[in-house]
Chains A and B, each alone.
Chain A
Amino acid sequence: MTLSLAFSVPSATDQVWSVGQLNASVKRLFEKHAPNPLWVRGEMVQCKVWSSGHWYFTLRDKRSQVRCCMFGLNAARAGKPPADGTEVYVLGRPGLYEDKGEFQLVVSRVLPTASVGGQQQELERVKLALQQDGLFDLARKRPLPKYASTIALVTSRDGAALHDVATVTRKRWPCARLLVISARVQGDGAVGELVQALRLVNRIPRLDLCILGRGGGAREDLAAFNSEAVCRALAAVRVPTISAVGHETDVSLTDLVADLRAATPSAAAEQAVADRREVARQLADLTARLAGGLASRSRLAEEQLARTADRLHAGVESALQRDRHRLERLGAQLDALSPLRILDRGYAVPVGADGRVLKRRAEFVPGASFRLRVADGDVAARVESP
């Protein structure tokens, strides 16, 4: 008796749970069991859209069903709920609605299975069309400018891509100018806005580069970047382009059309602008080479000048030498003509008192004195008789 009583009422040592504690505990179990969202396939029925924007619906197959809810933000992105009974994939986390103790799937995405098949087909069609038009050709790829200074960024004004590109650019090349052309990058209207933005890029003067970017997101968000219109508008951009749609693994068609694919917007910015520190080093190197270049050029000039001076000196020297020989020759000739050399041979010259040379008999007056110049001097003389 006491035994059965012990089973029918809690004993002093038993822990008594509140309902809230129980639900919270089971909720944690779910979270531990499936920490990441799961794709679940089923038929979507009884969808109610609340005024808050949340969707509540049931997902079922032949055997089972599960309650689902999708909250406002995700629901707004999804547009209108598919028709009752549509087969869908949903991405959601299994969980417990604690207030009511109800098991449910908190859904972030709903995709009609037919549209996924359709999307895949459309992707293949666009890919083939672009390929046939040569838009993926490597020969089309343009090199990026080495020192881009004006960069267009086509992305969502509110997305992470803008922040990431601005941060990296600010660090590497703060003298740049970043022009943001805002466009929705997913959902209805994204294709049209992206095409318009890319056309606007072509009207911006003195542009060096264009980045088409988007922050990370789910795969179906890439739809706009796989659209034919966006790909063709990107191919028509007249400056080099980088596609950075924020997906490491998935490749979008704009990645194939752009001149360069970057894994993330940050990586795009790294490729887009030079590094200021690198250019500063380059300038230092140029400064040294400039100074060195002038120094070596002046040294060369000095050497040339020295060589010229040597040649000049040698020239003058040889000219002088030539003149010296000529002078000696002239001196010798002059010497040969000197009258003093004739006196050496025994001739004498009579010179009158007035210093004139006496050449005729009449000039010798008897009794007059004159002088006789001989080789080594002169002697006194007198005329005896006529």
Chain B
Amino acid sequence: MSSIADELSRLEEIVRRLEADDVELDAALALFEEGVARLRAARERLGAVELKVQTVLEEAGGDLRYTDLDG
């Protein structure tokens, strides 16, 4: 899953290209569709309400263990 930073920078790029006049109509339509999909994904990401808090511990074998923390 790409980060919200990636989403936003790709969206900026899409809008900039759409706003420039030299893009072909076919490409413009494809950019628009991609933009709509990314906007929807970004809004869903933003809508997540529960902050995830976990502790990280190193186990005897050297692996990392993540444990959810309440509150």
| Pairing of A with B | yes
One of A147, A166, A169 near B4 (C-beta < 8 A) = A147
How many of chain B's residues have a CB under 8 angstroms from any CB in A?
A: 37
Q: Chain A: how many interface residues by the 8 Å CB criterion? A: 39
Please tell me if the beta carbons of B55 and A157 are within 8 angstroms of each other in the complex: yes
Contacts of A146 in B (CB 8 A): 5
Contact present for B53 and A180 (CB under 8 Å): yes
A145 to B19, CA, bound (A): 27
Q: Is A280 an interface residue (CB 8 A)?
A: yes
Which residues of chain A are within 8 angstroms of B32 by Cβ–Cβ distance? 290, 293-294
Q: Please report which residues of chain A, range 202-261, place their CB below 8 angstroms from some CB of chain B when the two chains form the complex.
A: 203-204
Question: How far apart sit A298 and B58, CA to CA, in the bound complex (Å)?
Answer: 57
Q: Inter-chain contact count A-B, CB under 8 Å?
A: 104
Is the pair B51, A180 in contact by a Cβ cutoff of 8 Å? no
Question: Known: A147-B3, A180-B53, A181-B55. Contact between A300 and B21, CB under 8 A?
Answer: yes
CB neighbours (8 Å) of B43 from chain A are: 280, 283
The 7 A-B pairs of least Cβ separation, nearest first, read A293-B18, A147-B5, A175-B48, A297-B28, A170-B51, A294-B32, A289-B15
Looking at the assembled complex, report how far the CB atom of A182 sits from the nearest CB atom of chain B, in whole angstroms. 6
Q: A145-B5, A200-B64 are in contact. List 18 more A-B contacts (CB 8 A).
A: A147-B4, A149-B3, A176-B51, A179-B54, A179-B55, A204-B64, A282-B8, A283-B11, A286-B15, A290-B36, A292-B19, A293-B18, A293-B19, A294-B28, A297-B18, A297-B21, A297-B25, A300-B21
Chain A residues with CB below 8 A from B11, complex form: 283, 286, 290
Bitwise, B3-24 to A at CB < 8 A (1) or not (0) is: 1110010011011001101010
If A179-B66, A300-B21 touch, whether A294 touches B56 (CB-CB below 8 Å) is: no
Closest chain-B Cβ to A22's Cβ sits at a distance in Å of 47
**1/0 per position for A156-188, CB-CB distance to B under 8 A?**
010000000010011001111111111000000
Residues on B with C-beta less than 8 A from A301 are 25
| Inter-chain contact B46/A176, CB cutoff 8 Å | no
Cβ–Cβ contact B4 & A286, under 8 A? no
Q: How far is the CB of A294 from chain B (nearest CB, A)?
A: 4
Does B69 touch A at the CB level, under 8 Å? yes
Residues of chain B within 8 A (CB-CB) of A296 are 19, 21
